[in-house]
Structure 1
Amino acid sequence: MPRCRGSHMDRRSFTCRELTQCYLERIEKINPHIKAVIETNPEDLVIADELDAERRTGIVRSGIHGIPFLVKDSTEAYSSRGGQNRNPYNLAEHPGGSSSGSASALAANMCAFSIGTETDESRGDAVHSVPCELRCQADSSVIFPADRNAVVGIKPTVGLTSTLGVIPEAPSMDTVGTFGRSVEDAATILDIIADESSLPDSQAVTDPSRKSYTSWLADKGALKGAKFGLPLKQIWKAASESTEHKSEYDALQTLIKQMIESGAQIFDVDFPSAEEIISSDGWNWAYAADVVAYNIEHTDTEGGIPGTHPAWPTGQDNFDKCIESKEFPNAVYEEALTYIRLKSREEGIDAALRHPGGELDGLIVPLQADGGAACSVAAKAAYPMITIPVGVNDSGVPFGLGIIQTAWKENLLVKYGSTVEDLVGPRHRPAFLNLDAENWFYIGSPPQ
């Protein structure tokens, strides 16, 4: 049974109320340092009692009946309500992105699992004057926080999970993903929140990928005969040249050798469109705020006006562009979207997966050492991705290995993500280095 399921509750080892109280006490002790949780449900214990009563009468809604969890509500690890979220492994280091509260809370054991969201910032010569739907919040908002907090993150194919209740930013790329302390946990939650009605007609009921995602869990023995690709241009080449991430690169290369020793075949591949859609500088940042008027009025905390807040030096220029674009979608947007999808899908991920040696089981990528370029390609394509914890770097911050697949192939990500997890062994637990750090993160040039 995965850790986030209710087997202990089935045996009445403890109740939902007791588990909820345990997490609330943990939040009370840890959150003042990590600042991952903005608020808890004021009716949580009432709801816990109701769910306990249901379980006593034999009503069990799902495998996570009565299990407390957290959902994303801040951006770039900062909010005026919650303050600056920190990394529980090293509080002086960045926690990883806009879903970092969900990931760091889970890593610090303030919940059993959590939910994040992700969208993308598209860039390139073809999209300089594109409306905001293609120039919004940065990508990797599930993958990076998971990677830097040593938890498993699954970013599903866009459309597999409902975005009801999520503030829309880029409908062609917005998706809700899952965080777990194991692949099994993350897959369990994906089974529950996935909307099978969104699957294309080509995914017939007899298609094996329609089975539960947890049914694809495997150990390292399943690596025998598996085929993976290493995208070189702008991805692994960039990682190999990074002095900052040398220890991570070396560790990932060692892991790849272990995969080969376990029977996997690893091929060098490329995204044919790599130079066209991946910046030579890696991942570029662009940021958005919430409500334009509110941000201007409260610019000291929200940074609505350029130069008034160290975390948001550029103000809310993306929102200004949204207002200027007026009509959406329009012909320029549609043209840009078609271009981005062509370059990231047919001439990107799908092309790399089609290898002369046979269709690949996934593309293996570094997640920080390449500057986030691989995450960006997956986001542009609206394709699924998983990250598996591997180790911690010289600063004590976790890093992991990512696997990318084509649309609707989350089942293969679960299968091979769990094989890598079995090969790596237990994840590192938070060390809470620099517990008293009072640093504030900023974007762009250091504030004066």
Structure 2
Amino acid sequence: MAAAPRTRPPFLGLLPLPERQAVARALRTETVGGLVLLAAAVVALAWANSPFSSAYDAIRDFHFGIPALGLDLSVAHWSADGLLTVFFLVAGIELKRELVVGELRAPARAALPVIAAVCGMAVPAAVYTATAAAGDGSLDGWAVPMATDIAFALAVLAVISTHLPAALRAFLLTLAVVDDLGAILVIAVFFTTDLNLYALVGAFAGLVVFYVLQRLRITGWWWYVPLGIVTWALMYNGGVHATVAGVAMGLILRTTRDEGERRSPAERTGYLLHPLSAGLAVPLFALFAAGVNVSAGALGEVFTSPEPLGVVLGLVLGKILGIFAGTYLAVRFTRATLNPDLAWADVFGLATLAGIGFTVALLIGELAFPAGALGEHVKAAVLVGSLASALLAAVLLRRRNRLYRRLYEEETVDADADGIPDIYQHSACTPSGGDDPSEQREKSG
């Protein structure tokens, strides 16, 4: 008897229940953090352009630390190299989860979002490079428009009250995770200067000890917090951006649960640090990074100087072209088929939303242009490009909000109050390759 033909897996279809619950938990914190981030950016802009701007500059440039250890840094520097390490530690945990139990664990499932994310990084970089080269500008900022800020994007969704289905939100989250990995590699490879091999060997030794402690199942924050701080300080003094230490530790943390464990070490750490990252670390970084001059002259430079203009075009046009074209080509030449409830207009709207590149874009902008007016203009360009992407995405996604609301409500109906949405209890709607709903509930903990 001939085997029945395999059905083509749906792209942006119904997620397996455990994956949907994990995505919902992550995005809930990110959304709240994004609203705090948005507020911090507004405060920074208002403060830096107010009569009290001198106080803002004095606080941002105030130095403190331990000079003997090479850690006498300004407040802005501490927020970028210190607080953002917590953000990148959480990003490392998210990446590890995606690789082990999430959307990236199976090459066939990972191919599509990875291709879309890579195109969504490469095309903005190319747009910046072409714009800067055409205007005889500096090519140093090619990486600025590469990253997507998931927290800011979700804050925009919350503000415009758009109910994206879980699959669209998960796709956006996966894009951001791969973006973060790309940003980490760019920072580690292209913004590493004045290497101190002794300090780097010490940082590597600290990571090895961290790995051994994890494999020996040793618990207790008193082991990991001092070790993490020492590793971070050695990485900083080694000439590699200190946030790389956070990513490395996040990737080392064990993601799978041992028998009898309610949460793995990565889950516990992410649960504790995610609110700290989203609610404190990233907003404080934004407070001292987003305070740029927004006078008519400064805004004029954004659209007349090649470097800032390249950033704006990279975020607004490059992200749309890269993600949409990458997604379309990946679907066209793989076995995947677009969810019949959605249209390519939805992917286009999501690609537009991904043009919000706030936190990591500002960080790379500071690394690429560490001082002077050009650095301030590039920061202003990040704000302008992110705002333009947010407004355009709001218009596009709001037009489809009636459809999104219907799909969202269908996903969340639980008439029998058994803890499993009813849509997962109809065999025709069970995700391809998914578990039985009762098994999914057991796995989700």
TM bucket, shorter chain:
under 0.3
TM-score by length of 1: 0.24
Q: Pick the structure with more helix per residue.
A: 2
Larger relative contact order (C-alpha < 8 A, sep ≥ 6)?
2
TM-score by length of 2: 0.25
